[in-house]
Amino acid sequence: MEQGVHGDAGEELNAFIGRERELGELRLLAPGARALTLCGSGGIGKTRLALHLVAGLAASFPDGAWFVELADLRQPELVAARIASVIGVIEEPGRPLIATLADALRPRRALIALDNCEHLIDACAVASQLLLASAPGLQVITTSREPLRVAAETVWQVPPLSLPSPCSGDEAEIAQSDALRLFADRAGAAKPGFAIGPANVAAVAAICRAVDGVPLAIELAAAWVRVLSVEQIAARLADRFRLLHTAERTAPPRHRTLRAAIDWSHDLLTSPEQVLFRRLSVFASWPLEMAEQVCGGQFAGGDLAVRDILDLLTALADKSLVLPEPDARGQIRYRMLDTIRDYAAERLAEANEPDQVHAKFHDYVVREVERLAAIGMALVPASWSARVDVFRRFEAEIGNLRQALTYCVANGDAETGLRICVAMRPVWIVQGSFAEGAGWIDGLLSLGTSGLPDNVLGAALVGRAQLALATDPAEAGRHAKAGLELCRADGSEFWAASALNLLAEVALHAGQAAEAAAHADAAIAVASGAGDWFNVGYASGTLGTLAAYRGDLAEARRLGETALQIARDIDQQWGAARALLGLGDLARLTEDYAAARPHYAAALDILREVSARPEMARCLAGLGRIAISQAEYDVARSYFSESVQLSRSTGSRIGVIRGLDSFAALATAQGNPALAVQLAAAAAALREAATLPEAPATRTKRTLDGAAELGQDAVEELWRAGSALSSDAAVALALAESDRSSSPSGPSTSRSHSAAASPGDPGGQPQPAGGLTAREREIVGCVVRGLRNSAIADELGISPATVARHVANIMRKLGVSSRHQIAAWAAGQAATDGRTGR
């Protein structure tokens, strides 16, 4: 369902049948069950049922409902990371991710569904217990083949689809049972015009009964109507199941039913179809070209011609053994249901092919990610849209990449794993997945580094250093130095320059200006000699920051503009956004707001494209500060709200603290000194708790001066009260109180919600409804109505691929990952609009 409701596509690809009674029962049960497990054998329909249950419940969870797919995850230790990445929480320096996650969820009335927990049962049990204990408004729904066995778990057995009563003679009534309706739907898709009528109803009922109403088995049987009559299917199945029922009864009955149904379907395949089917089991999901490159050719179990693969894949899709679906870029990818994939993997092992196919898969992955990384990092000429596309590609491939990495760790292949990590590093850094990246690299390095080529180990150490910068600069420095030595020895100039740039930043963090400048200069020398403009631009930005620190603003601006120009010349807009953010900060500090605004706005547009939430929060905060200086308080409040929500959604403590400081400044400006003192005090206490440097004394003084009229005692009391607030309570206070202090109507309110400008516009006015365009809002409306992409496309007269792209953009802008979350967000908007009378 990461392919269904969740963000990867968020769409169900075929009709959901029946289950009205089950859903009715579950909806009654759910409010009283904080941990609800939908339990049942493979293919019984747990995932589909959970999907609909969550969709139906989402509206009761104002802070969000998430569907987290775990089927493809193999490492129990990554369960928290997976939940965090779906919810949009990133780890914070020096804290276990689960604690950040718990903090982010604590104030929320939220629903999390964990799908397919059976292979990670202990880790899921621990994570859900911990989150439920710390977040009183949280509910967890899991699907699993066995119960989690946690306290207060309500286990609900998912029954098979309803079958017609054996005594019923009424054909219409028989055809209305859920099992037969599913058969009719899937058979109709395989063979247009297929319908159940008096002539075939008995045979279809026999098929559904033979497979015990297990939906996956019904689908597999129905897919054959194109080549077999229902009577033939019924007869063949009956033979098969007669055997099944006399066979040794070791597995649970429905499991055996399903296994027999898959066997049956598999045995009917042609030999080349069987060969492709088993080889596809190495992928988490795949586009056609990947299947051609990896599965074609001669292996132990036989040969497969590349030119035949499209037809074979189509044949497997026709038999419901593989599922085609559009990805966020509107392109078709295929996947298998977990049960089917496990079966295919067994067949691969029987054919003695796993090692060869995995090796070819990993060669392909390494080639492909290194090609993508070269585009993303501007090592080869390409347009910015091609570079943005690299991010989307990595998102689409994440399942395959994780799988390849897992295999490398398990099989001691550090070199392949590290090459993949090195290529994935930019995505981890931009999107804030530091812990995931660091975890993989550490795991691979721990396999031993002696046989590794210098260039691979060197690049991996530099990448590891970059991932450590935000959490542990000293450790980052150590890794970078070790990496630098190897890269120099090996002549890897890009990585040597990257290491020097990182060492410059480490020195900058530590306040060692001279050392930072020396490293940045050295980076420029290495990179410009190699024609590596990305690193030249990066180093120029660092030198610009250094110039600003020593008060040479003209030089800082010049260097910032150099960095910007270089990034634009090579069309690496990510670098340009960083430079723009720096120039925006610089212009704002010199009170040149007319220059600062468009810098921030332009940076924000780029950052949104690559979902760089931490930097987006910084940009919005900068825009809000400018709005205060222009007395546009409602505008400032909108920016700060979005900024602090982004920081909160990513679990960034420092982002939230900066947000509280911003709200304090706004409160002072709006003549609410009591609020200002409390928020400043909360920010100061939170800084101390997180062992972050104190805020500049002038800032605190401004707040306290603004509150002088309240009297010394009152200010002290307010400071004490503010210091005792938790981060969430302080944010809630900031949002609620500043809302109250802002004018409910009048010119400034209506201007601040003008639909003409977005935070991305040079005018710098926030746009209502999450910065969505009119078309995107229209599509949100359709999503809320539960329409699929194809239906939205019909309604709006555009292609489904365009709809998929819009949906992906909406998710990126809102920072959500599923259609349910879009719907929940829209419900939240409606509620806010209702409250504010908008």
Residues contributing to the site for ligand ATP (CB under 6 A): 16-19, 40, 42-48, 116, 143, 145, 182, 215-216, 219, 337-339
Cβ proximity to ligand ATP: between 45 and 432 the closer is 45
In the complex, the smallest distance separating the C-beta of residue 50 from Mg ion, rounded to whole angstroms, is 8
Cβ proximity to Mg ion: between 115 and 761 the closer is 115
Q: Which region, left, alpha or beta, applies to residue 591 given φ > 0 means left and ψ of -120 to 50 means alpha? A: left
Q: Which does 4 bind (CB under 5 to 8 A by kind): ligand ATP, Mg ion, none?
A: none
**CA–CA separation, 656 vs 99, rounded Å?**
16
In the complex, the smallest distance separating the C-beta of residue 622 from ligand ATP, rounded to whole angstroms, is 46
DSSP symbols for 108-167: --EEEEEE--GGGHHHHHHHHHHHHHH-TTEEEEEEESS----TTEEEEEPPPPP---TT
Cβ proximity to Mg ion: between 116 and 641 the closer is 116
In the complex, the smallest distance separating the C-beta of residue 321 from ligand ATP, rounded to whole angstroms, is 11
Cβ atoms of 838 and 768 within 8 Å: the answer is yes
DSSP symbols for 315-364: HHHHTTSSEEEE-TTS-EEEE--HHHHHHHHHHHHHTT-HHHHHHHHHHH
- Tracing tokens 């949002």 back to the chain, one arrives at 735
Cβ proximity to Mg ion: between 335 and 608 the closer is 335
Cβ proximity to ligand ATP: between 70 and 405 the closer is 70
In the complex, the smallest distance separating the C-beta of residue 18 from ligand ATP, rounded to whole angstroms, is 6
Cβ proximity to ligand ATP: between 45 and 326 the closer is 45
Cβ proximity to Mg ion: between 43 and 354 the closer is 43
**CA–CA separation, 297 vs 305, rounded Å?**
6
Cβ proximity to ligand ATP: between 57 and 507 the closer is 57
**CA–CA separation, 477 vs 462, rounded Å?**
9
Q: Report the residue closest to ligand ATP, judged by CB.
A: 45
In the complex, the smallest distance separating the C-beta of residue 348 from ligand ATP, rounded to whole angstroms, is 18
Q: Which does 337 bind (CB under 5 to 8 A by kind): ligand ATP, Mg ion, none?
A: ligand ATP
Two structure tokens written together for 816:
């959500």
Of the candidates 340, 330, 339, the one whose C-alpha atom is nearest the C-alpha of residue 396 is 330
Number of Cβ within 10 Å of residue 13's Cβ equals 14
**CA–CA separation, 215 vs 235, rounded Å?**
19
DSSP symbols for 395-447: HHHHHHHHHHHHHHHHTT-HHHHHHHHHHHHHHHHHHT-HHHHHHHHHHHHTT
In the complex, the smallest distance separating the C-beta of residue 23 from ligand ATP, rounded to whole angstroms, is 10
DSSP symbols for 634-672: HHHHHHHHHHHHHHHHTT-HHHHHHHHHHHHHHHHHTT-
Q: 151-164: buried (b, 16+ CB within 10 Å) or exposed (e) per residue?
A: eebbbbebebbbbb
Q: Which does 405 bind (CB under 5 to 8 A by kind): ligand ATP, Mg ion, none?
A: none
In the complex, the smallest distance separating the C-beta of residue 51 from ligand ATP, rounded to whole angstroms, is 8
In the complex, the smallest distance separating the C-beta of residue 39 from Mg ion, rounded to whole angstroms, is 11
Cβ proximity to Mg ion: between 144 and 643 the closer is 144
Q: Which does 48 bind (CB under 5 to 8 A by kind): ligand ATP, Mg ion, none?
A: ligand ATP
Cβ proximity to ligand ATP: between 336 and 563 the closer is 336
Cβ proximity to Mg ion: between 48 and 278 the closer is 48
In the complex, the smallest distance separating the C-beta of residue 41 from ligand ATP, rounded to whole angstroms, is 7
In the complex, the smallest distance separating the C-beta of residue 44 from Mg ion, rounded to whole angstroms, is 9
Cβ atoms of 103 and 663 within 8 Å: the answer is no
In the complex, the smallest distance separating the C-beta of residue 4 from ligand ATP, rounded to whole angstroms, is 9
In the complex, the smallest distance separating the C-beta of residue 579 from ligand ATP, rounded to whole angstroms, is 47
In the complex, the smallest distance separating the C-beta of residue 42 from ligand ATP, rounded to whole angstroms, is 4
In the complex, the smallest distance separating the C-beta of residue 826 from Mg ion, rounded to whole angstroms, is 27
- Tracing tokens 């031993």 back to the chain, one arrives at 448
Cβ proximity to ligand ATP: between 323 and 735 the closer is 323
Cβ proximity to Mg ion: between 4 and 560 the closer is 4
Cβ proximity to ligand ATP: between 41 and 765 the closer is 41
Number of Cβ within 10 Å of residue 206's Cβ equals 16
Q: Which does 257 bind (CB under 5 to 8 A by kind): ligand ATP, Mg ion, none?
A: none
**Residue 410 burial by Cβ neighbours in a 10 Å radius (0-12, 13-18, 19+):** exposed
**CA–CA separation, 508 vs 550, rounded Å?**
12
**Residue 455 burial by Cβ neighbours in a 10 Å radius (0-12, 13-18, 19+):** middle
Q: Which does 770 bind (CB under 5 to 8 A by kind): Mg ion, ligand ATP, none?
A: none
Task: Give the CA count within 13 Å in the CB-facing half-sphere of 790.
Answer: 7
User: What proportions of the chain, in percent to the nearest 5, are helix, strand and coil?
Assistant: 70, 5, 25
Task: Give the CA count within 13 Å in the CB-facing half-sphere of 49.
Answer: 31
Cβ proximity to Mg ion: between 341 and 362 the closer is 341
Collapsing DSSP to helix, strand or coil, 245 comes out as helix
Collapsing DSSP to helix, strand or coil, 787 comes out as coil
In the complex, the smallest distance separating the C-beta of residue 14 from Mg ion, rounded to whole angstroms, is 15
Two structure tokens written together for 608:
């949104």
DSSP state of 495: H
In the complex, the smallest distance separating the C-beta of residue 149 from Mg ion, rounded to whole angstroms, is 19
**CA–CA separation, 698 vs 692, rounded Å?**
17
Which residues of the chain form contacts with Mg ion (CB under 5 A)? 46-47, 116
Q: Which does 376 bind (CB under 5 to 8 A by kind): ligand ATP, Mg ion, none?
A: none
Cβ proximity to ligand ATP: between 44 and 377 the closer is 44
Give Rg (Cα) of the chain: 29
Q: Report the residue closest to Mg ion, judged by CB.
A: 47
Q: Which does 787 bind (CB under 5 to 8 A by kind): ligand ATP, Mg ion, none?
A: none
Cα 220 from chain centroid (whole Å): 31
In the complex, the smallest distance separating the C-beta of residue 119 from ligand ATP, rounded to whole angstroms, is 10
- The angle, 0 to 180 degrees and rounded to 10, between the axes of the packed helices 593-609 and 573-589 is 150
Cβ proximity to ligand ATP: between 43 and 614 the closer is 43
Report the Cα–Cα distance between both ends of the chain, in Å, rounded.
Answer: 36
Q: Which does 40 bind (CB under 5 to 8 A by kind): Mg ion, ligand ATP, none?
A: ligand ATP
